[in-house]
């Protein structure tokens, strides 16, 4: 089975489904990644903060798949922000992985001197040490601000996305900016009864699939790259078996209705000061590992206004290494 590829804004081809290794302990990770690659995964997503890059590297070195067929992603964490710190972090990650280049390098969270970090990523990209660069967990205001001011725009924004947190406005913004969305936690980490959601169970029964497969298919049909995780080989294989069916319009409508992101505290209804405070609080809670409640944020009105101006006045900001 061949996983479809998505072309990033700079022409790099990225698998639309990959394998994430968040919270897989170092002592187990090597064998788990070997199993994932043997099952057919070619995109492997790790991070310096996961503390398992070395295990991922050993699995890559011991597998029979040529390096050029693999797509390896890692990330710089909060304490690695700033130009010099990110350069050092990149070199540490590359050494731990045992590689001479990365396919995708991401800023893990928008805190600290992430503009200094972004300049480091631009220089690493120009030097050919990484094939694509991007960000994680950037809310619309921060993504738009970076795109308006960076020399090279991000090629990927990796965000939490699942049927209870669909972020349609943010996906629309990414499409406008030429930024590829990628979903971490497509199953909401198994919380809030996601696998027992009656609508998903019914749709799964209709197609002879599992709720997990329905969730992944729903994401990829909207052009989102997914990185499910499991330490069980049978579930790895199950998560890959999503390319032989399609959801119909009724399925999509029913899944859309599961979105729990509408909330009276939407940024649209807030003053600029309140919106900024709420975004900051949400970001801090989320990035500290605290689960959000059903509230979240729609695309801010101020970002919509800025985007309209940017589309008519933006300089020739590069999205490729020209």
Task: Give one DSSP letter per residue of 43-64, joined into a string.
Answer: EEE--GGGT-HHHHHHHHHHSS
Q: Output the six-digit token pair for 50.
A: 């996961």
Q: Is the predicted pLDDT of residue 316 greater than 70, yes or no?
A: no
- DSSP run (H or E) holding 255: helix 249-256
Query: Contacts for 238-243 with beta carbons within 8 Å, 24 or more apart?
Result: 238/210, 238/212, 238/213, 239/17, 239/212, 239/213, 240/1, 240/3, 240/17, 240/39, 240/40, 240/41, 241/1, 241/209, 241/213, 242/17, 242/209, 242/213, 242/216, 242/217, 243/1, 243/3, 243/4
Q: Which of 50, 105, 114, 125 is an active site residue? A: 50
pLDDT band at 276 (very low <50, low <70, confident <90, very high): very low
In CATH, the architecture of 10-260 is Alpha-Beta Barrel (3.20)
Domain boundaries, the chain: 10-260
50 is catalytic: yes
Check residue 310 and give its pLDDT: 52
Q: Per-residue pLDDT tens for 169-206? A: 999 999 999 999 999 999 998 888 999 999 999 999 99
pLDDT of amino acid 293:
36
Q: What is the pLDDT of residues 136-163, one digit of tens each?
A: 999 999 999 999 999 999 999 999 999 9
- Token duo for residue 182: 């990628």
């Amino acid at each position: 089975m061949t996983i479809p590829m998505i072309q990033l804004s700079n022409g790099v081809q990225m698998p639309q489904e990959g394998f994430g290794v968040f919270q897989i302990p170092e002592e187990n990770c090597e064998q788990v990644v070997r199993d994932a690659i043997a099952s057919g995964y070619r995109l492997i997503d790790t991070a310096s903060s996961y503390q398992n890059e070395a295990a991922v590297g050993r699995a890559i070195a011991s597998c029979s798949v040529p390096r050029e067929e693999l797509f390896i992603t890692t990330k710089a964490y909060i304490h690695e922000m700033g130009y010099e710190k990110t350069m050092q972090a990149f070199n540490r990650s590359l050494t731990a992985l045992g590689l001479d280049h990365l396919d995708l390098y991401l800023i893990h969270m928008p805190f600290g001197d992430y503009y200094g970090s972004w300049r480091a990523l631009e220089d690493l990209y120009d030097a050919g040490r990484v094939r694509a660069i991007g960000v994680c967990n950037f809310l619309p205001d921060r993504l738009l601000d970076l795109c308006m001011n960076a020399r090279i725009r991000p090629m990927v924004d990796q965000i939490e996305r699942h049927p209870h947190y669909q972020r349609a406005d943010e996906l629309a913004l990414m499409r406008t900016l030429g930024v590829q969305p990628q979903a971490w936690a497509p199953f909401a980490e198994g919380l809030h009864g996601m696998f027992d959601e009656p609508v998903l169970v019914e749709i799964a029964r209709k197609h002879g699939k599992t709720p997990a497969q329905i969730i992944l298919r729903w994401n990829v049909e909207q052009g989102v790259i997914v990185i499910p995780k499991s330490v069980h080989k049978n579930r790895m294989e199950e998560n890959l078996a999503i390319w032989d069916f399609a959801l119909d319009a009724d399925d999509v409508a029913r899944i859309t209705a599961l979105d729990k992101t509408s909330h009276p505290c939407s940024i649209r209804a807030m003053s600029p000061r309140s919106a900024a405070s709420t975004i900051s609080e949400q970001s801090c809670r989320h990035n500290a590992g605290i689960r959000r409640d059903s509230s979240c944020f729609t695309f801010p009105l101020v970002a919509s206004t800025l985007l309209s101006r940017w589309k008519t006045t933006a300089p020739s900001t590069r999205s490729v290494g020209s």
